[in-house]
């Protein structure tokens, strides 16, 4: 299992310099079947990292750029009337994929955010009277800009609850920025190869579920969670 994870990280490192904590966080969320929210100012390789990870995994990948004029149908899809057959047909949106990059998710209003609640929790999409189950794995990697920036919305609590955790991405070190500048100026680029299959990914997830957790550790985790709910 460790070797496969290292292979994925090596492929991502072909186009991403540094940001090890972000890459580790993405892999943890993916292997634990959780969605992840990445926050940081523009230009910190958030989107590039997600693109690179999807290529290394070799899974279906789609990207949705969230904007203030976005509609729920732009993400989920819609029923389209077919005048030739006098009937409606389903046009599926970008949500029908394995990996969805929701880029700058907090630039879209609450109506669009609510459209993601069902699919992120139940792994299914309802269009009209029909409910579609998504093919596993399904993983949402969302990026957002800090709320202090202009033109962004605060995500509702119900949607934040759909994410396993949030990563706050900081600037690269000076040495890493120098390496980035040299790569850009030289025009060098490397192709990312898929190093894992969907079946191998499912096997990795199964191995994680089989890791033994002592009963005392389980109780301690619950105590920690309970402590965060009490006001001081």
Who wins on pLDDT, 147 or 185?
A: 185
The whole-chain average pLDDT of the chain stands at 82
> For 138-186, where are the alpha helices, taking DSSP H only?
157-160, 174-186
232 part of a folded domain: no
Give the pLDDT confidence score for residue 147 in this predicted structure.
64
Read off the pLDDT band of 127 (50, 70, 90). Answer: confident
Residue-wise pLDDT tens digits, 172-191: 788 888 887 887 787 777 78
- What's the rounded Cα separation, in Å, for the pair 166 and 162? 11
Using a cut of 0.85, tell me whether the model's pTM lies above it.
Answer: no
For 81, what's the count of Cα atoms within 13 Å in the CB-facing half-sphere? 2
Name the domain count of the chain: 1
Q: Taking Cα atoms as reference points, which of 68, 116, 111 lies closest to residue 94?
A: 116
Give the pLDDT confidence score for residue 223 in this predicted structure.
92
- Domain range enclosing 32: 2-227
For 12, what's the count of Cα atoms within 13 Å in the CB-facing half-sphere? 28
18 part of a folded domain: yes
46 part of a folded domain: yes
Backbone angles phi, psi at 99, to 5 degrees: -120, 120
Residue-wise pLDDT tens digits, 186-206: 777 778 888 887 778 888 888
Q: Is the pLDDT of residue 1 over 70?
A: no
CATH code, domain carrying 199: 3.40.50.300
């Amino acid at each position: 299992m460790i070797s496969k994870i290292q292979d994925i990280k090596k492929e991502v490192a072909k186009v991403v310099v540094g940001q090890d904590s972000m890459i580790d966080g993405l892999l943890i969320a993916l292997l634990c079947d959780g969605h992840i929210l990445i926050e940081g100012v523009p230009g910190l390789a958030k989107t590039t990292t997600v693109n690179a990870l999807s290529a290394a995994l070799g899974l279906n990948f789609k990207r949705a750029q969230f904007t203030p004029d976005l509609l729920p149908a732009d993400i989920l899809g819609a029923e389209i009337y077919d005048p030739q057959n006098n009937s409606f047909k389903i046009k599926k949106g970008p949500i029908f994929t394995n990996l969805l990059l929701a880029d700058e998710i907090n630039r879209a209003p609450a109506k669009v955010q609510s459209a993601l609640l069902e699919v992120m929790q139940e792994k299914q999409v309802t269009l009209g009277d029909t409910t579609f189950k998504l093919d596993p794995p399904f993983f949402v990697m969302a990026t957002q800009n800090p709320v202090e920036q202009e033109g962004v919305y605060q995500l509702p609590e119900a949607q934040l609850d759909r994410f396993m955790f949030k990563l706050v991405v900081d600037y690269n070190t000076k040495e890493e920025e120098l390496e980035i500048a040299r790569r850009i100026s030289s025009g060098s680029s490397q192709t990312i190869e898929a190093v894992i299959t969907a079946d191998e990914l499912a096997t990795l997830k199964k191995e994680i579920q089989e890791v033994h957790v002592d009963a005392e550790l389980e109780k301690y985790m619950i105590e920690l969670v309970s402590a965060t709910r009490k006001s001081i």
